[in-house]
Structure 1
């Protein structure tokens, strides 16, 4: 029986080692890839211990004897009894010691020729080897196919306080206006280790977020201050805050208009936001915000006017009227230097300097040239912001010839009597001279504009008409 026990031990001990290796490898794979607790590995000791206990129980001498009796009919029903006689001969009353020894020797003689190696159960070693091969194969496949998940899962099972997990959160700490939609992104490394992370925010239920290309996204509507973080297993990101700012606003606003000097108009102050001014007028903007400013601007479709922050939340700026326009006040907070905030608007209606008017009151029609060769012209001119110079244009066919009558020096209205001497024009009887009067204004912003009268004709009478008169 001692020989059989040694043979079975030589077979079962390697089988137990292979079984332990296979179970441990399979447990490591499942624990790592499914993020199970390390206690699962300890739990595998229970079934392994049952197997060990069962196999070791089969190595007891009596159990071996029963196995031999079942396998070999030659010793059936006698081997166990012989073992009892050999161990405790005094318990068999009525039998002499010689008879007991003879019975034991008879069984020993029958045992010598039996092939006890048949009872070593080689199948256990084979099955344990298969379990070990499968377990080690799964371990290698899991380690090579999902290295990041395997590494994190193994650390989660064995050292939860040293998980190799890193979080990159954007925008992290930020400050926004009430009602602003904030898109928070969290990149988790190592890539491929997780399929989702948990979003935790104060006063809100936890939310499981899927990872797309290693990034989780969540939209937050900022109505009040909020702290948040991300979690993957026992790893937690740093805690970040979304601060809600008080919206910027304009408490006071005024505009001072300085018209172009040539217009002669006085300075005008207005609270806006609807402004009307002559083209070329300059507006000075002064205002006060409800918070300290870092910078400000007045944005028009074409131009941007910088607003200079001053003490006491004040700001100033200036712009020149060029066209009809609409501008938006944009301010930036002095504490957080956040995004530009729209805080108001202004509309500008540009009033153009109109073209001056001029009329020839007398003669105001086509006439014949008198014998004196002089033609009196009574000219009336008018402009909204001041007249410039009065001109006479004439010629036989075109109006290419020009003479300055006088300068009106910024008057808004004028009536001039001008005697036009035609004696030096060399007119022949029957010839006609065409003429008109032009007036310019004194617009130095857009450039002088010219008003024109109707075109009239002066006819030099024929000799017959002269003598008949």
Structure 2
């Protein structure tokens, strides 16, 4: 393998550097011409049509893209490998006397024997080429035709730019500012410079819109405001009676457009000037479309959670319940704040068009949500929802047995039967009493049912009462209210008059005598009714007699039931006052 000589390599490196410089410079000049053309074309188009902000952004993007492409091109030429064969071709064209010896030497040097030439012959060729090119400058052989052409074009472009700078410096500088700062409200340069207000944005539907025109520079008697709604036709209105605040050089005009209902695009003209066009979008204020309520009832109520979806967010729940509210709005929100009874409360969590939070039901009242959207618009007249706190009522309680005033001996007893009910649960039932010896109470029930019946036997012996004393008694039922504390329901107070043993026994003996006489009469009536019924059966044609016999039979049956009830009551009274032996009580029960 053979390489070109050191002398030829240095000459080729010099040519390579010049080759890169020529092409990179040509790219720079070409880019300058293109960018200058874009700049001037945009300058004139902007004066004709007045670019919108997006239009100026596009033009700026084109200029930036051209600059970036130029920088990338220069970097590419700096890093690009230029083959020696390319340089040798240009040198051979510039110096025909080489008779392609340089090109042949360059091509054979890396190939050597692989190309079919002997190493000795290749060395001789390199030496011969070195002698033939001894007085030649390879760098001058690089083609600069394109460089010269684009140098001329760039010079012309520079002259044109300088001419613009000298003739219309203000207009050119204004265009440069408009293109560099596309979002800024910089009007096209003119003797009369015009701005229109507001400079775009968003307005809430229904809010009053007033468009303004500001003019500076050459004074004008009037201005024209051009506007259109959505994609409708353009309208124009002449504005006069300019206002000039203080000693200001500004002229101001105003035009009330009315309540905002549609998106409007507008611009203004005055004298030779024209403002930038702007668009004022119209959006609805935030409002609630629907709510989802999740009610967690207090644990002591044993009520399951409730979930409901509705456009109305009215709440009716037990006092102490927690209500989780998820409100859906008509648009994405910035914030949502709870207001209870008209007083602002905590901010709720906002996710897109949904606001979520909770409130606790403690008393009747109202709540509402104060919404703010991402434009800062506040919801007007938010709906007000009612809160009804369902209070836990005290239990109701009744003494079913005896449930009345009564008389008992000092050693008597009372068979008790008490019923109680509550909204959610009855925690306990107690019997309270007051006697000469003191007051007290004892428990009849402990549990948690909504409707409960409990009972027991109350012995009066432990009260040490004496004949003539009065014992008061009543029943109390308590619930499990964990919010306001347990509540108690109470029956009326009943009385037990204590009578002596002998008095009670004498009274009951007298009742027993009356019951025996009634029983004797009842037996006689039964026999008579049976006889009448049998006689009526023998005379089936006598319907009236049969009807009388049947009525008599029914009357006897009712009297029998009444007497049985009286005897049963007397038997219980004997038993509860301990004035009869067990055998006597059993006999009476058999008779009953």
TM-score, structure 1 length as denominator?
0.51
- Give 1:288 deviation, angstroms: 3.8
Partner deviation per Cα, 1:14-68 (whole Å, 9 max, x = no partner): xxxxxxxxxxxxxxxxxxxxxxxxxxxxxxxxxxxxxxxxxxxxxxxxxxxxxxx
Q: Does 1:180 align with 2:207?
A: yes
Which residue is equivalent to 1:356? Answer: 395
Instruction: Report the count of equivalent residues.
Output: 298
Partner deviation per Cα, 1:381-406 (whole Å, 9 max, x = no partner): 11120112223333259xx9452415
Change (3 A) 1:464 1:373: closer
Which residue is equivalent to 2:350? Answer: 309
Q: Does 1:267 align with 2:305?
A: yes
Which residue is equivalent to 2:472? Answer: 434
Q: Does 1:415 align with 2:415?
A: no
How far, CA to CA, are the matches of 2:473 and 2:226 in structure 1? 87
Partner deviation per Cα, 1:139-163 (whole Å, 9 max, x = no partner): xxxxxxxxxxxxxxxxxxxxx9799
- What does 1:151-300 align with in structure 2 at a 5 Å threshold? 175-181=202-208, 202=227, 203=235, 205-206=237-238, 220-226=258-264, 242-250=280-288, 253-272=291-310, 273=312, 274-300=314-340
The answer (yes or no) to whether the contact 2:342–2:367 under 8 Å persists in 1 is: no
RMSD after superposition: 4.5
- Give 1:432 deviation, angstroms: 1.1
Q: Does 1:320 align with 2:347?
A: no
How far, CA to CA, are the matches of 2:245 and 2:225 in structure 1? 21
- Secondary structure in 2 matching 1:205: strand
How far, CA to CA, are the matches of 2:348 and 2:340 in structure 1? 13
- Give 1:172 deviation, angstroms: 7.8
Structure with the bigger percentage of helix: 2
The answer (yes or no) to whether the contact 1:305–1:318 under 8 Å persists in 2 is: no
Match of residue 379, structure 1, among 399, 411, 418: 418
How far, CA to CA, are the matches of 2:495 and 2:212 in structure 1? 84
The answer (yes or no) to whether the contact 1:222–1:242 under 8 Å persists in 2 is: no
How far, CA to CA, are the matches of 1:369 and 1:443 in structure 2? 38
How far, CA to CA, are the matches of 2:429 and 2:411 in structure 1? 24
How far, CA to CA, are the matches of 2:214 and 2:470 in structure 1? 92
- Secondary structure in 1 matching 2:370: strand
Relative contact order higher in (CA < 8 Å, ≥ 6 apart): 1
How far, CA to CA, are the matches of 1:285 and 1:161 in structure 2? 61
Gapped runs of 5+ residues in structure 2? 1-189, 216-220, 228-234, 247-251, 508-592
How far, CA to CA, are the matches of 1:363 and 1:330 in structure 2? 60
- What does 1:122-137 align with in structure 2 at a 5 Å threshold? none
- Give 1:257 deviation, angstroms: 1.6
Gapped runs of 5+ residues in structure 1? 1-159, 189-195
- Give 1:260 deviation, angstroms: 1.2
TM-score, structure 2 length as denominator?
0.42
Change (3 A) 1:438 1:235: farther
Match of residue 452, structure 1, among 490, 514, 527: 490
- Secondary structure in 2 matching 1:262: helix
